[in-house]
Amino acid sequence: MAKPVIGLTPLYDTERERLWMRPNYLRAVAQTGGVPLVLPLTGDDEDVAALAGLCDGFLFTGGPDVHPALYHEETMRYCGSINPRRDRLEILLLNQAVQLDKPVLGICRGIQLINVALGGSLYQDIPAQVQGEPIAHYQQPPYDVPVHNVFIEKDSPLYSILHKTQMMVDSMHHQAVKSLAPQLRCAARSQDGLAECVYMPDKRFFMGVQWHPEYLFEPDSDSEDLFQAFVDAAKE
């Protein structure tokens, strides 16, 4: 059958008013048999509905912080930059994808956006708000090198894909899931208890990861298996 088309939410350079994309995302989708399609930054309901119908799956990419107002908090001084236009597009698109049961993979900002769109909240800054042994959730480059462990639940779709209870991941986030959205379950946590992978049960494929499998993709078969499961689900 035809290759599945995977819609990617666009990155936006606010200073230069330009859409852009990291080639790693495109490469990971293409190499696992999907056709990557970078979506426009629209906030129009009808346009988003049309785009949702057009694509077979959606990759929610990394990017700036989600506006704290969307989870009913004031912006703390340690919150990062935001992009309300991406928030709007991605929340509309996520709701469409859930309704249509089209496969969703969220990466970094993607897992956070998914959680907020479904009624969860975020830590606005891990160093400021999370106590305990400090793990390098915001690593220095190079980014294709794993820096911390995640511990995987055995009854989760992540375990079904990887068949392991522990793996090393890269990490480039200063925010994290605080309260988990009611429809979501946690599939993996870091040593300090933060959610590193969430999923929605009873969906074809609906997962968010806090790490960056698109950076680890080349040398790492786990990242390839994750993308493969996502793109295969979009094929069905």
Q: Would you please indicate which residues are annotated as catalytic (active-site) residues?
A: 108, 212, 214
Q: Which is nearer to Mn ion, 14 or 179 (CB)?
A: 179
Q: How far is the CB of 129 from Mn ion (least distance, A)?
A: 15
Q: How far is CA 52 from CA 36, 39, 105, 232, in A?
A: 14, 10, 14, 18
Using Cβ positions, the residue closest to Mn ion within the complex turns out to be 171
87 CA to centre of own chain: 13
Residues 4-63 that bind Mn ion (CB under 5 A): none
CB closer to Mn ion, 98 vs 172:
172
Q: How far is the CB of 145 from Mn ion (least distance, A)?
A: 13
Decide if residue 137 touches Mn ion (CB under 5 A).
yes
Task: Decide if 7 contacts 55 (C-beta within 8 A).
Answer: yes
Q: What is the DSSP string of 177-236?
A: ESSPPTT-EEEEEETT--EEEEE-TTSSSEEEESS-HHHHTTT-HHHHHHHHHHHHHHH-
With beta carbons less than 8 A apart as the criterion, state whether 189 and 158 touch.
no
Mark the segment that binds Mn ion (CB under 5 A) among 67-75, 98-106, 171-179, 180-188.
171-179
Using the minimum distance from each CB to Mn ion, give the nearer residue, 56 or 220: 220
**Binder among 171, 175, 183, 223 for Mn ion (CB under 5 A):** 171
212 sits near Mn ion (criterion: CB under 5 A) = no
- Please confirm whether the linkage preceding 146 is cis (ω < 30° from 0): no
3-state SS class at 38: strand
Q: CA angle, corner 33, sides to 49 and 168, nearest 5? A: 95
| Shorter beta-carbon distance to Mn ion: residue 83 or 171 | 171
Nearest approach in angstroms of CB 3 to Mn ion is 32
Closest approach of Mn ion to the CB of residue 192, in Å: 9
Provide the binding-site residues for Mn ion, judged by CB under 5 A: 137, 171
